[in-house]
């Protein structure tokens, strides 16, 4: 019997190639999960691989009686009802390392764009102006980067920031002092990160504990000259509070790649906020990363279906 793997959301086929070429697998790619063709394939699928566009809710899981594995070609599983999958004994995997470099490099790009005011300078040039004196930035060397969270991506950002001559301090309750020493930064509490950092970069998942973590009170503790960057998960920052802080000059600037609601609503207060650089969730949007995350999750799907290997599943403890 062939294992049917259904892929959607334009999961990179190069990353699925090895799975597709295996004799005991059939890979079917249907990029629109709202079509009748997708529903028909889902009813027969043993594995489902998605990115972020498809919401794998309880109804979708109920419509897939043969489903044994759900793979997320990326890190976050906000779009997957993990509890509903667990009730059915379906293993849920993500690809935690494939987009690490892409996300870290985007974070550094956003930091550099902020401190040198590159987006505004580009706009002025396209408007026919030569406002050289209006764009006096600051240098990263000698300044302090504060990380809120220092997992895979945060650690890579720290490495790159140190190469720019920055001191790095970190708030991460799950990180050991030994690991911090290995990465060359100092662990501290959240208040010191907020109060002492010249640039603050967020690298935490969205959980009940982190939702709204950077709100009015946290923003008030930051330096007026500080910059805030979030390329992790929307919802960690209170967006109306951030927009207000930028309007009131309580921050030098901010850069966001993720938002509480995506796509960003037309009436979002962020759209009119000054000193704000915004990108449309590009953290994993490199050709290299898309191949890596597809290959990583495909490997886990294969191991689960062929060997029953589910130790890396996010819901492993609930699978019995």
Catalytic sites, residue numbers:
233, 262, 281
Identify the burial level of 122 via C-beta atoms within 10 angstroms of its C-beta, where 0-12 means exposed, 13-18 middle and 19 or more buried: exposed
């Amino acid at each position: 019997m062939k294992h049917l793997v259904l892929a959607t959301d334009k999961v990179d086929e190069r990353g699925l190639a090895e799975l597709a070429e295996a004799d005991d697998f059939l890979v079917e790619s249907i990029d629109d999960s709202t079509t009748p063709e997708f529903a028909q394939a889902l009813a027969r699928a043993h594995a489902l691989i998605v990115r972020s566009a498809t919401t794998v809710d309880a109804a979708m899981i109920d419509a897939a009686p043969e489903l044994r594995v759900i793979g997320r070609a990326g890190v976050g599983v906000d779009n997957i009802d993990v509890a509903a999958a667990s009730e059915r004994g379906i293993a849920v995997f993500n690809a935690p390392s494939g987009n690490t470099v892409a996300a870290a490099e985007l974070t550094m790009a956003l930091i550099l764009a902020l401190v040198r005011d590159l987006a505004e300078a580009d706009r002025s040039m396209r408007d026919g102006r030569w406002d050289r004196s209006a764009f006096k930035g600051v240098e990263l060397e000698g300044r302090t980067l504060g990380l809120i969270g220092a997992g895979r991506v945060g650690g890579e950002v720290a490495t790159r920031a140190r190469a720019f001559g920055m001191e790095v301090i970190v708030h991460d309750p799950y990180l050991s002092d030994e690991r911090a020493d290995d990465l060359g930064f100092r662990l501290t509490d959240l208040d010191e990160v907020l109060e002492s950092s010249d640039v603050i970069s967020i690298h935490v998942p969205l959980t009940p504990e982190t939702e709204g973590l950077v709100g009015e009170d946290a923003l008030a503790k930051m330096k007026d000259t500080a910059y805030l960057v979030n390329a992790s998960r929307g919802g960690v920052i209170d967006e109306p509070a951030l927009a207000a802080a930028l309007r009131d000059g309580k921050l030098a600037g901010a850069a966001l790649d993720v938002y509480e609601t995506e796509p960003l609503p037309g009436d979002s207060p962020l759209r009119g906020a000054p000193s704000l650089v915004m990108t449309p969730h590009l953290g994993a949007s490199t050709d290299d990363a898309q191949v890596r995350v597809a290959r990583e999750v495909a490997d886990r799907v294969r191991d689960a279906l062929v060997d029953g290997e589910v130790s890396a599943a996010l819901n492993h403890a609930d699978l019995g």
